[in-house]
Structure 1
Amino acid sequence: MDCTKCDREAVMHAAYSGAHLCEAHFLESVDRRVRKRVREDSLLSEGATPEDPETWVIGLSGGKDSVVLTHVLHETFEEDPRVELVGLTIHEGIEGYRDRSLDACVELAEEIGIRHEVVSYGEEFGVRMDDVVEDDPENMAACAYCGVFRRDLLSKYAEKLGADKLLTGHNLDDEAQTALMNFLEGDVAQIAKHFDASLGGFEEREELRSSNESGRSPRTRKEGEAFVPRAKPLRDVPEKEVALYAHLLDLPAHITECPHSSEAYRGEIQRLLYGLEENHPGTRHSIMAGYEELGGIVSEELDDRSADLKECERCGSTTTRDVCRKCSLLESLSA
């Protein structure tokens, strides 16, 4: 099959758009979508200058998503003195898994010449995920522990590194799964939190309003001062396209599933979305378009009822509890 845009052989078919794309046009399409998301979310503030650049910390795991995100952002902003990229890798302590993905992070950072920092659960918390899974005092899935610890370290070190934004490599499939899970669970408050944490744009711009087909301004999040604001510039790109992008450019990505991954419910949602997307191409895009619109509305409605934030009595981190979830889990593990 020939490429829709030229006479070269197509390497992929995007059923949701009907396009067949050759290697060059496929790579260009991914780059374009990420850059469009950066613009539409107003990721680069108008106040950034060469004399006072923004620091964007990327959660660089070494997997396909974070590696592709880092590559595209580097290609986009390599010559732009208003942005400094920093890779931040979290080593969870999973034997035979994270060491190899760490090698991929180091290789990529050295290849493109960006600063790269590594922190570990062992150094920070005195635990390794292999041991956490074995002990499991809370009788939870491994991902439940790891998610809490990982988010804590990403936030803590993004702040230490002077980040203006914390970027993660969540793709379209990741976000559509989360959206559907929140909706099916009827968790309206979580929908608002999800929007404010990483989906809404950072500011309203007149040119964005005029460029939208709907004529509406993109909804903007409520930015708090307690956390480094997060963003997900890869969230318009399907997972399989991210993997193909990494393969075609031979990027140093460690594409292997975590041995402790066991999110049964998310797995069900993933299989459901695969079926829906196959039978109704474009389902994931439709879910996210409606979900982000809904998230913005719910965020505004719940503004006055949001929980008060305070400092954890143990570690001083920002939380809605007296003792944050991370500290309570560490206490259970030590007991």
Structure 2
Amino acid sequence: MNCTKCDREAVLHAEYSGAHLCEHHLRESVESRLRRRIRKDGLIGPEASPEDPETWLIGLSGGKDSVVLTSILAETFTEDPRIELVALTIHEGIEGYRDESLDAASELASELNIRHEVVSYADEFDLEMDDVAETDPENMAPCAYCGVFRRDLLSDYADRFGADKLLTGHNLDDEAQTALMNFFEGDVAQMAKHFDASLGPFDERTDSTDFVPRAKPLRDVPEKEVALYAHLAELPVHMAECPHSSEAYRKEIQELLLKMEAQHPGTRHSVMAGYEELAELAARAYRENSPDLGECERCGAATTRDLCRTCQLTEAVHAA
């Protein structure tokens, strides 16, 4: 089958649009959607200038999503003096897994000539995920611990580096799965946080100055297309799945969405279109009724509790 836009051989059939795309037009499409999302979300602040550039911190794990995100951002802003890119890789302490993805992240940052920083759970929390998975003091899936620790470090280092934006490589599938999980669980607070973190123009999100705004420029691109882009562009990517990955509920949602997408192309896009409206309403209501933020007694992080969730979990792990 030939490409819809030219006479080259197609490498992808995007069922939701009906388009057949060759390598050139697939890559062009992914890049176009990422850049359009940057414009739509107003990521480049009006005050950004060559004299006072914005710093964007990218969570670079070495997996396909973060590698594609970093590669396109570097290509887009290399010659733009208004934006400075910094990549941050977090080493969780997972033997035989994170070392290889760290190698991929380091190789990419070197090729793109962007600043690359590495932090670890061992240095920051005096623990490693291998040990957390073995002890599991809170009787939770390893991903639950890791998600809290990772979010904490991304936010902490975004603040330390004076970042104006924090960018992650979440794709359309990731976002649609999260949307359905929050909806099925009736988690209005998470819907509100999701809006404040990644949806809508930045000037509509929150008046709080305690958090660096987050952005997900790949959230309009399906996972399959991100993976194919990484392959065709011959980017250094670590494709292995984390050995501690055990989010059974998310995998159920993933299978449901893939089945629905196969039978009804465009389902993921429809889910996100409706969810964004619900999340915005939830965010506005949540801001009016949310509890006041204080400081964690141990680390000083913003929290509604005496101890933030990160300190609660690290205490439990060390006591186990």
Both proteins in one fold, TM over 0.5: yes
Instruction: Report what 2:56 is aligned to.
Output: 56
Distance 2:167 2:199 in 1: 11
CA distance in 2, matches of 1:223, 1:78: 31
Residue 277 (structure 2) aligned to one of 282, 285, 293: 293
**What pairs up with 1:158-169 in 2 under 5 angstroms?**
158-169=158-169
1:298 offset after TM fit, Å? Answer: 1.9
1:265 to 227, 244, 249: 249
Q: 2 CA distance for matches of 1:134 and 1:199?
A: 36
1:33-57: CA deviation from partner (whole Å, max 9, x where unpaired): 0000000000000110000000000
CA distance, structure 2, for counterparts of residue 292 and residue 86 of structure 1? 28
Q: Where does the alignment leave 5 or more consecutive residues of structure 2 unmatched?
A: none
Q: CA deviation at 1:308?
A: 1.1
Q: In the alignment, which residue of structure 1 is the partner of 2:201?
A: 201
User: What's the TM-score, normalizing by structure 2?
Assistant: 0.98
Distance 2:257 2:286 in 1: 29
Distance, in Å, in 1 between the alignment partners of 2:71 and 2:84 is 13
What is the number of residues matched between the two proteins? 319
Which amino acid in structure 1 is aligned with residue 29 of structure 2?
Answer: S
Amino acid at match of 2:49: T
1:246-265 pair list within 5 angstroms = 246-265=230-249
Indicate the residue corresponding to 1:150 in structure 2. Answer: 150
1:307 is displaced (CA, Å) by 2.0
Q: Distance in 2 between matches of 1:300 and 1:191?
A: 11
The alignment yields a C-alpha RMSD, in angstroms, of 0.8
Q: Which runs of 4+ in 1 moved over 6 A?
A: none
Matches within 5 A, 1:40-189: 40-189=40-189
Among candidates 291, 295, 301, match of residue 311 of structure 1: 295
Distance 2:206 2:169 in 1: 22
Give percent identity, aligned residues only. Answer: 72
CA contact (8 A) 1:196 1:223 kept: no
Tell me the CA shift for residue 223 of structure 1: 4.3
1:59·1:154 contact (CA, 8 Å) conserved in 2? Answer: yes
Deviation at residue 153 of structure 1 after TM alignment: 0.7
Deviation at 1:201, TM superposition (A): 1.9
**For the Cα contact (< 8 Å) 1:12–1:22, is it kept in 2?**
yes
TM-score, normalised to structure 1, is 0.94
CA deviation map 1:128-155 (0-9, x unaligned):
1001111111111000110111111111
Letter of the structure 1 residue corresponding to residue 305 of structure 2: R
The residue number in structure 1 matching 2:210 is 226
Q: Which residue number corresponds to residue 211 of structure 1?
A: none
SS at match of 2:84: strand
Deviation at 1:304, TM superposition (A): 1.2
